[in-house]
Amino acid sequence: MDKHKVLGIDIGGSGIKGALVDVKKGKLLTERFRLETPQPANPKNVTETVQQLVTHFNYKGPIGCGFPAVVKNGVAMSAANIHKGWIGKSAANLFSKATGCKVKVLNDADVAGLAEVTFGVGKGVKGTIIMITIGTGLGSAIFLDGKLLPNTEFGHVYLRGQRQIAEKYASNSARKRDDLNYEEWAVRFREYLEHLQFLFTPDLFILGGGPSMKFEKYEHILKNIRTRIVTAQLLNEAGIIGAALSTLK
């Protein structure tokens, strides 16, 4: 098998997506294949869905997987946006046993960030980069000179002046819940970025997730933030590409 051809899988709250990736070029070699995330998204159901996805590609080889939790050595250590039954379970072992392939599992925002600093807008950027994935929650990844510090949970910081964690206040699901337009929501999101700026003094923010594709609707609300802000270049492919790329790390 071509060592540069790796299956990347991105597990999300609504969908489980995968594609074969050229990890040397950071390009998809196939169309994305998507299955609905089973409900409940417990270990048994998600593992079966991952197995279906791998079977679809008739694939035997290393697999990289982005997973919506803190992940240490393949084990899920949290479950903020997935079934609580995952806590303490080895996603890597479950997926490997079900598929017959060696599977590496990392946090989903970490692998998306890995793709962006390797092949996207963060490539070659020196200093501190923070990537925020805006969705059901607020995923985060932080890099220093391209090197990842894994499993940051910046979506769970408490904002100054707020009595709730950031992702309950400034995520895309919070925007929908409170029926906010993008400008109204961006006032909240600006507060969040200003807090991260205060804590880390980054050189670059990279925004991913659905709202990043509507950046022109609220870019002017964020103009007073000192840190340069860009949107992810790889869009919905970042999680899959980064997951595949993680097998080389």
What is the distance between the alpha carbons of residues 167 and 158, in angstroms, rounded to a whole number?
A: 9
Q: What is the mean pLDDT of residues 135-148?
A: 95
Domain coordinates of the chain in residue numbers? Answer: 5-111+237-246, 124-232
19 forms bridges with which residues in the sheet? Answer: 8
Tell me the pairing of strands 138-144 and 128-134: antiparallel
Structure tokens of 133?
């994935």
Q: Residue range 108-122: average pLDDT?
A: 97
Read off the pLDDT of each residue in 146-151 and give the average, rounded to a whole number.
96
pLDDT tens sequence across 25-79? 999 999 999 999 999 999 999 999 999 999 999 999 999 999 999 999 999 999 8
* CATH code of the region 5-111+237-246: 3.30.420.40
The yes-or-no verdict on residue 85 having pLDDT over 80 is: yes
Give yes or no on whether 5-111+237-246 and 124-232 have one common fold. Answer: yes
> With bands split at pLDDT 50, 70 and 90, how would you rate the model's confidence at 176?
very high
pLDDT score of 219 more than 90: yes
pLDDT the model gives residue 1: 58
Percent of the chain with pLDDT over 90: 90
Strands 75-76 and 71-72: antiparallel
Nearest to 171 by CA among 217, 139, 129: 139
Question: At residue 137, what is the residue type?
Answer: G
Contact call for residues 99 and 54 (beta carbons, < 8 A) = yes
Q: Are 20 and 30 in contact (CB under 8 A)?
A: yes
Q: Which CATH number among 3.40.120.10, 3.30.420.40, 3.40.50.300, 3.40.228.10 corresponds to the domain 124-232?
A: 3.30.420.40
pLDDT score at 80:
75
- Which pLDDT belongs to residue 2? 73
Q: How high is the pLDDT of residue 153? A: 94
At 221, give phi and psi (nearest 5°).
Answer: -70, -25
According to the model, what pLDDT value does residue 130 have? 98
Average pLDDT of the chain, as a whole number: 95
With beta carbons less than 8 A apart as the criterion, state whether 108 and 66 touch.
yes
Which structure tokens are listed for 116? 């962006």
Entry pTM: 0.93
Q: What is the pLDDT of residues 227-238, one digit of tens each?
A: 999 999 998 899
Instruction: Determine how β-strand 228-231 pairs with β-strand 204-209.
Output: parallel
* pLDDT level of residue 116 (50, 70, 90 thresholds): very high
